[in-house]
Structure 1
Amino acid sequence: MLGKELLSYVDHTLLRPTATWDDIKEICDAGVAYKTASVCIPPDFVASAHEAYPDLNVCTVIGFPLGYETTEVKVAETKQALAEGASEIDMVINLGDVKQGDFEAVTNEIGALKEACGDKILKVIIETCYLTDSEKVALCKCITNGGADYIKTSTGFGSGGASLEDIRLFKKHIGPNVKIKAAGGIRSISDMKAYIAEGCSRIGASAAVELLKDHLDEEV
């Protein structure tokens, strides 16, 4: 795989709480220059990014990073982000609902955000580091039944990130219309290639452009 092909899987990400508009412009410039799948940025920068880069695929996060906002708040966040120019939404589930076994509430919330998204992409962050395997399997079903487009491993703000074992588990239990995004702790070219080889359609990474920008037309 060429470096530029690998970058086409990447959501070029900057979610640092101290990020400034100058920082956001830098990753948007890189997203345009290197044709990443999207740039994933905080919600308060979506409108400015869309105005400055109207052809760029802008992704943002909802209920981030803890996920315990009410569904109504997450829906309102989603609608505002889409109205301001986001075309992809990465939401965080309510982990409290998971831990108390209320998977119906999780499914309903995913469905509500997917309804708000319409034909825009919805990715669901389940924060695998806090979950048992049985909870991960149950969430694969929630995401499938809720109509989301992707299951995503991690926020990058939890106690752990993506693992290949979780990707393999997801593949066994998600529906045929659900894709996989790996994020959290993916810091090397070999990591990115390994996750894609396991079936991931997207990689969330902040380091990908720096790693690959000098190898665009080379096998990596």
Structure 2
Amino acid sequence: MTFQLSVTELANMVDHTLLKADAQKAGFEKLCQEADDYGFKMVAINSAPVSLCRELLKESPVHVGAAIGFPLGQTTIATKVFEVTDAIKNGADEIDYVINIGELKEGNLAYIEQEMKEIVAVCQAENILSKVILENCYLTDEEKIAVCEIAKRVKPTFVKTSTGFGTGGATVDDVKLMKEVVGADVKVKAAGGIRDFSTAKAMVEAGAERLGTSSGIQIVNEYQALVKKS
């Protein structure tokens, strides 16, 4: 299959990521400058530095995305809703939240649906993009399908494969499975372990419309070199 995206279009699918516990101001300044320079879609950060990154990107089309309940998902629905509201107030225009994986493993789909409804409702009311992180490395295919079926009803903007902090990241099979279930109603974001162009290409061809990675620069530069060569 011929890869149809331009270098600019591929760059605009990248969520440029800095989610480390020891990240400091200089790191966020670098992240935002790189995202602006390369035309990435979003900077993916924890919720504390949202206001800093919003200020750094105030003249830029790059979005500021806050990770919520990150990376374990083990906070209450009310806590996640508060964190979402606070992040939006501070300037976030995208929200990536981690589901309560334990509740899903218990088979408590009503909880997963309620959590999704409450968070997505806050985002929709503020015209903010929402992404539901499944953390697929811990889930069976049946559990992945169950969450995607809920998403098809609730309609977040994206379902997302991984935090990048679990025991595994995005796989082509998971992206295909998730896309098959959600169809045209919800988009798919692949994240975790996407470090080169060939992996990014495989995820896009499997159905991903957004890529979460800290290797966006390498991926775009690699693709640019291939385009020039051809």
204-213 or 117-126, which deviates more: 204-213
8 Å CA contact 1:9, 1:36 repeated in 2: yes
Query: Which among 161, 170, 173 is matched to residue 181 of structure 2?
Result: 173
Q: Which has the higher contact order (CA 8 A, sep 6+)?
A: 1
- 2:77 equivalent in structure 1: 71
Q: Is the 8 A contact 1:107 1:145 kept in 2?
A: no
Q: Percent identical across equivalent pairs?
A: 38
TM-score by structure 2 length?
0.91
CA contact (8 A) 2:196 2:218 kept: no
**Runs of 5+ in structure 2 lacking a partner?**
none
1:183 aligns with 2:191: yes
Q: Secondary structure at the match of 1:96?
A: helix
- Which of residues 148, 163, 167 is equivalent to 1:155? 163
1:86 correspondence with 2:92: yes
For residues 36 and 225 of structure 2, the distance between their equivalents in structure 1, rounded to whole angstroms, comes to: 17
Unmatched tracts of structure 1, length 5 or more: none
**Secondary structure at the counterpart of residue 66 of structure 1:** coil
Deviation at 1:167, TM superposition (A): 1.1
The answer to whether the 8 Å contact 1:141/1:175 transfers is no
Greater displacement, 32-41 / 49-58? 49-58
Q: Is the 8 A contact 1:162 1:183 kept in 2?
A: yes
CA distance in 2, matches of 1:212, 1:174: 28
Task: Let me know the Cα RMSD of the aligned residues.
Answer: 1.5
**For each residue in 1:120-140, what CA deviation from the matched residue of structure 2 results, as whole angstroms up to 9, or x when unmatched?**
110000000000011111011
> SS of the counterpart of 1:79?
helix
Give 1:8 shift: 1.1
TM-fit CA distance, 1:208: 1.4
TM-score by length of 1: 0.95
Residues of 1 paired with 2:140 and 2:71: CA distance?
Answer: 19
User: C-alpha displacement at 1:41, in angstroms?
Assistant: 1.1
Aligned counterpart in structure 2 of residue 39 of structure 1, from 33, 40, 43: 43
Cα pair 2:197 2:223 within 8 Å, conserved: no
Pair 1:175–1:214, CA change in 2 (3 A): closer
Say if 2:133 is the partner of 1:133: no
The alignment of Structure 1 onto Structure 2 pairs a total of residues equal to: 220
Report the Cα offset of residue 4 of structure 1.
Answer: 2.8
CA positional deviation for 1:209: 1.1
Q: Displacement, 1:146?
A: 2.3
Taking the aligned partners of 1:210 and 1:20, their CA distance within structure 2 comes to: 22
1:203-214 alignment to 2 at 5 Å? 203-213=211-221
Distance 2:163 2:134 in 1: 8
Asked if the contact 1:8–1:35 (Cα under 8 Å) also holds between the matched residues in 2, the reply is yes
1:99 aligns with 2:105: yes
CA contact (8 A) 1:2 1:217 kept: no
